[in-house]
A and B are shown apart, each in its own frame.
Chain A
Amino acid sequence: MGLFEAIGIAGSGLTAERVRMDVTAENLANADTTKAAGGLPYQRQEVELKQAGEEGFSSALSGAIKQAESGPPAGGVEVTGVVSDATPDQQVYDPGSPEADAQGYVKMPNISTVTEMTDLISESQSYQSDVTAMQTAKSMFTATLGVLK
């Protein structure tokens, strides 16, 4: 990336927020799904984010040297994976349902629509702020080029 580091970093943020948005949409769509993988209720999915960069001793050492020379390393954010939320399923009393157990309870996914909606807002705002960071970096660069005119 070199010259335009900030734009690449903001871009990685955009990608991460889009993946989060995908997962939230999946959660919302499956809020009432009682038959997911293995015949169990759908389990809420969450995105794991990580600061981008290499792992291991040698890269940590060279990173520290680099940091001493020219400021902190910058690589943006990356998605390491999508994991299941381990919260127990909700038990809803609905004896008329064909999926009710002997006591009349139906196992529903561990999804709260309110949580998903607030996640949605947070993702949208983060995406916006990444776009703003990208635009600001670009206008800074353009302003610098304007000096040459």
Chain B
Amino acid sequence: MIVPAIGGLAGGLSERVTNGVTGQTGSSPAAGAEGVGGLESTAGLGGASGVGGAGASAGTAGLGGPGGAGGVEGTGGVEGGAGGSGGGSGSFGSELSEAISSLEGTQLSADSAAQSLAAGTAKDPESAVVTVEDAQMAMDMAAQLRTKAAEAAQSIFQTQV
């Protein structure tokens, strides 16, 4: 069940990276919503494959998805089918979505802190700095976890059959 994490995390990450590049603080809430939405759709896919119990249908869904992230989700479906546990919204999924939403929270508060700092309305610059640092470190950790999960997926893809 590690692999579905990649799709959701990658979706969230790419949104954030785009955000960082454009520097648009205003567009952040919408981006965050999309990131969480991506995660939910991944969980839904896992559930479907678990009920179907067939990797093929999940694979098709993966191909239908847009781009490489869709392919990764398809693999997640295969794993779910092999596990046979069925419930796509298992404890790992909820843990992950919780982690993502807390990441989202830190990013949003960092956004507002930076904005108030720039606007000169910040009463307490230190806590703004702490908030931004917090967000950056949470982001770093999520990025590292994503990289690690992607590596694991790669090593699965390279299995000789």
- Residues 114-146 of B, flagged 1 when their CB comes within 8 A of A and 0 if not, give 000000000010110110011001101100110
Q: Is B147 an interface residue (CB 8 A)?
A: yes
Report which of A11, A15, A134, A142 forms a contact with B140, defined as CB distance below 8 A.
Answer: A142
Query: Is there an interface contact between A14 and B133, defined as CB atoms closer than 8 Å?
Result: no
Q: Is A61 an interface residue (CB 8 A)?
A: no
Query: Is there an interface contact between B148 and A3, defined as CB atoms closer than 8 Å?
Result: no
Question: What distance in Å separates the Cβ of B82 from its nearest Cβ neighbour in chain A?
Answer: 26
B141-161 contacts to A, CB under 8 A, are: 141, 144-145, 147-148
Contact A148/B145 with A14-B126, A18-B126 known, Cβ cut-off 8 Å: yes
Q: How many A-B residue pairs have CB under 8 A?
A: 41
Compute how far the CA of A3 lies from the CA of B133 in the bound complex, rounded to whole angstroms: 12
Most chain A beta-carbon contacts within 10 A, residue among B130, B134, B137, B148: B130
Query: Is there an interface contact between B145 and A138, defined as CB atoms closer than 8 Å?
Result: no
Compute how far the CA of A126 lies from the CA of B138 in the bound complex, rounded to whole angstroms: 27
Grouping DSSP codes into helix (H, G, I), strand (E, B) and loop, the B interface class, with mixed when no group exceeds half, is helix
Grouping DSSP codes into helix (H, G, I), strand (E, B) and loop, the A interface class, with mixed when no group exceeds half, is helix
| Complex interface: chain B residues within 8 A of A93 (CB) | none
Compute how far the CA of A4 lies from the CA of B141 in the bound complex, rounded to whole angstroms: 12
| Complex interface: chain B residues within 8 A of A11 (CB) | 126-127, 129-130
Q: Closest residue of chain A to B148, judged by CB?
A: A148
Q: Is A145 an interface residue (CB 8 A)?
A: yes
Query: Is there an interface contact between B133 and A15, defined as CB atoms closer than 8 Å?
Result: no
Compute how far the CA of A111 lies from the CA of B148 in the bound complex, rounded to whole angstroms: 60
Seed contacts A15-B124, A142-B137; 9 additional CB < 8 Å A-B pairs: A3-B138, A3-B141, A7-B134, A11-B127, A11-B130, A14-B129, A18-B126, A145-B141, A149-B147
| In the A-B complex, the 8 residue pairs with the closest CB atoms | A11-B130, A14-B126, A148-B144, A15-B126, A145-B144, A11-B126, A148-B148, A4-B134
